Amino acid sequence: MKAAISIGFFLLLYEAVARSGWFAAALVPTLPAVAKTLWWMLAEGTMARHALATLYRVFAGLAAAAATGLLLGFLMARYRPVERFFLPLVSALMPIPSLAWAPVFILWFGLGDTATILVVFYAASFPMILNTWTGARAVNPLWLRAAGAMGAGGAAMFWKVVVPGALPFIITGLRLAFQRSWIAVVGAEMLAASAFGLGWVIFDAKEFLNADIMLASLAVIGAIGFLFERLVFGSLERSTVLRWGMVRAAKA
Amino acid sequence: MIEINNVTLEYDTPGGKVLAVEDASFAAKASEFVCLVGPSGCGKTTLLNMIAGFFAPTQGEIRVGGRAVSGQGQDRGVVFQDFAQLFPWRTALGNVVFGLEMKGVSRAERERIALEQLRLVKLEKFAGSYPHHLSGGMQQRVAIARALAYNPGVLLMDEPFAALDALTRDEMQRLLAEVWRETRKTVVYVTHNVAEAVYLADRVIVMTPHPGRIRAEVAVRLPRPRDPLSVEFLEHQKELLRHLTQKEEER
């Protein structure tokens, strides 16, 4: 409900600008015009194909990044040599924008899904690595001591104490990785995708000055992001770290 | 049951070597309740941590149940001062079963034992509650149940009630005395509170800081439950305070 108010307010502001006559209607279409295009694209099925193509790339890249980030982050936190080996590598690779890799990946793997997924993977990996690494090191030493005194070691210590203890950081890492995946996928599709994808359709629409298609696609990206944030990450947080009091809800 | 033989702990700081504990020796018999009393910096917690096996002494030896201590072990249960010692992602029951889980006890059996332990600390109604929904006193009771559940011979307690308000603390002390009477564990209990030591202990070891040394041993032979307002109780408190302040007179 509160989300509807804040989003509604923003939409009203946009509509006021669109109707003000300051800009050409073709460049700043009104909301009904955008809604009509969106409806048409949804009814025709093209929007679903674009969205599915993009979702596939996002989740393939994100899943690979999450697996890599968790593994590497935990290993770095546990073993000094692993940390010493990978930390400089992470520091050097992290500041390179994932999009800067797109031309390289295209050169190596050709146009298409592989290059796009790799760009997403690259973008999403670093928040996962860094958050897992930090989370594992931030586990309350008292929990480790208490667990150790009760006979936990090795695998039990890891699965029953370190993993749940690091969960607030890991969930935040997933959220950041998800968000960065979207930034990466839209850019990568512009360069590497040849037919479908929400990013591709936006840049394709530019050629024909179809501002309504661009905005309709942007709205779909926003809606997907919002739904995932609310349904997936929000409920993941509510059913774990929030429920356990490891993070607190904001004050009313 | 517990033997501390000439234990010294020295550690390096940027300002040079610090003697946290110097040549400490004492013993605790089976089922004895021993309190380590002293001001902050006297090495009482350090000594307890060495008995728990969190780190090894620089010199000397610690034996529990006849075996030399090397590292942590299920023969000792540990309760800390900080409420945050409980695992927040586990319910009260989930916390108490942890040690039994590590021992490989079957699910039904460990839940039966854990409920029994929670009943001992009068928290069976809160078995399904997460720690952050429990008060500080309740969390410490869960921690005691958790440390007792896998049935260690020794219970090591590091100022478990120091962060509680005075009324709750009195209640907790009564409860602990009761739990000890029923379980007959050997207890080493660290505190800076002289009255608490006289209320709980069979024997009080007085420690003084810089360097951390054992200053005196005082036996408390008062019948239980003890009356903190009785003359004998206050006499014991006075004696402990005398040992604790002696150092300044010597200077």
User: Could you tell me the mean pLDDT of each successive run of 10 residues in chain B, 251 residues long?
Assistant: 93 87 93 94 92 93 92 93 95 97 95 95 95 95 95 95 92 94 95 95 93 92 92 94 75 44
Q: For the residues A165-186, what does the mean pLDDT come to?
A: 94
The reported pLDDT for the residue numbered A82 is: 95
More confident residue, A143 or B248: A143
Residue in chain B closest to A148 (alpha carbons) equals B72
The highest-level CATH class for domain B1-75+154-162+187-251 is alpha beta
Taking CA atoms, what residue in B is nearest to A153? B102
- The reported pTM is 0.88
The fold for domain A53-239 equals MetI-like fold (1.10.3720)
Contact A145 B87 (CB under 8 A): no
Who among A142, A146, A244 is closest to B89 (CB)? A244
Q: Which pLDDT score is estimated for B250?
A: 57
CA dihedral sign, ordered A217, A219, A223, A225 = positive
Alpha carbon of B245: minimum distance to chain A alpha carbons (Å): 32
Cβ-nearest to B54 among A145, A164, A240: A145
Contacts of A151 in chain B (CB under 8 A): 72-74, 99, 102-103, 150
Q: Which residues of B make CB contacts under 8 Å with A?
A: 52-54, 72-74, 76-78, 80, 82, 84-89, 98-99, 101-103, 130-133, 146-147, 150
Q: Which strands, in side-by-side order, build the sheet including B2-13?
A: B16-28, B2-13, B59-64, B67-68
Residue A123: predicted pLDDT: 95
The answer for residues whose C-beta is within 8 angstroms of residue A218's C-beta and 6 or more apart is: A202
Alpha-carbon gap, residue A182 to A57, rounded angstroms? 10
Q: What is the pLDDT of residue B251?
A: 44
Residues of A with CB under 8 A from a CB of B: 140, 142-143, 145-152, 156, 160-161, 164-165, 167, 240, 243-246
Distance of residue B88 Cα from the nearest chain A Cα, in angstroms: 5
Q: How far apart are CA B200 and CA B155, in angstroms?
A: 14
Model confidence pLDDT, tens digit, residues A19-29: 888 888 888 89
- ipTM for the predicted complex comes to 0.91
CA distance A138 to chain B (A): 14
Distances (CA, A) of A157 to A64, A148, A165, A173: 25, 8, 11, 22
Contact check, Cβ <8 Å, A246/B74 = no
User: Backbone phi, then psi, for B101, in 5-degree steps?
Assistant: -60, -45
What pLDDT sits at residue B247? 59
pLDDT in tens, A42-66: 998 889 999 999 999 999 999 999 9
On whether the CB atoms of residues A200 and A189 are closer than 8 A, the answer is yes
Whole-number Cα distances in Å, B105 to A143, B79, B111, B210: 21, 22, 9, 45
Cα separation, A202 vs A156, whole angstroms: 49
Rounded CA separation B243/B218 (Å): 10
Q: Is the dihedral of CA A45, A49, A54, A59 positive or negative?
A: positive
Smallest Cβ distance to B88: which of A146, A151, A244? Answer: A244
Query: Which tokens is B249 given?
Result: 């007179």
CB contact under 8 A, A140 and B99: no
Amino acid at A251: K
Amino acid identity of A130? L
pLDDT at B161: 94
Task: With H, G, I as helix, E, B as strand and everything else as coil, classify residue B35.
Answer: strand
Residue of B nearest to A240 (CA): B89
Alpha-carbon gap: B232 to the closest alpha carbon of chain A (Å): 37
DSSP class per residue in B141-206: HHHHHHHHHT--SEEEEESTTTTS-HHHHHHHHHHHHHHHHHH--EEEEEES-HHHHHHH-SEEEE
Pick B87's closest partner by Cβ from A143, A145, A243: A143
pLDDT 10s digits, A106-132: 999 988 899 999 999 999 999 999 999
Rg, C-alpha atoms of chain B: 18
Confidence (pLDDT) at B41: 85
Q: How far is A234 from chain B (nearest CA, A)?
A: 17
Q: Give the model's pLDDT for residue A24.
A: 84
pLDDT of residue B18: 86
For the cut 60, the answer to whether the pLDDT of residue A7 exceeds it is yes
Where exactly are the structural domains of chain A? 53-239
Q: Provide the residue type at B50 as one letter.
A: M
Separation CA B214–CA B224 (nearest Å) = 26
Cβ-Cβ contacts under 8 Å, A161 against chain B: 87
Q: Between B80, B86, B102, which is nearest A156 by CB?
A: B102
Coil, helix or strand at residue A49: helix
CB contact under 8 A, A142 and B77: no
CA distance A8 to A65: 34
pLDDT at A203 over 90: no
Chain-centroid distance, C-alpha A199:
14
